[in-house]
Amino acid sequence: MCASQFCQLTRDGEVYHEYCLNYSKAMTYLERLRKNDDFCEFEKVGTIAIYDARYVAQPTGVEEQA
């Protein structure tokens, strides 16, 4: 997909622009949250659950990739 098609599909880049603006705000907010021990535990458990779900969802006979 070329840039002009991307812009047309995202209302002239508005969606992508908003994503870029929100990304830096989200990272700043995460840095603040990560100073809280309860959030760190929540994030760790959530990350493990997402990691485990990747392998649980695989069809039988599919080996894990190292």
Task: Label residues 21-44 b or e (16+ Cβ within 10 Å = b).
Answer: eeeeeeeeeeeeeeeeeeeeeeee
* pLDDT at residue 28, as a whole number: 92
* pLDDT at residue 15, as a whole number: 72
Cβ pair 26, 17 in contact under 8 A: no
- Mean pLDDT computed over every residue of the chain: 74
pLDDT at 27 over 70: yes
For 1-14, the pLDDT digits (tens) are: 566 665 566 565 67
Residue 5 structure tokens: 């098609």
Domain segments of the chain: what residues? Answer: 3-56
pTM for this entry: 0.48
For 31-50, the pLDDT digits (tens) are: 999 999 998 888 888 877 76
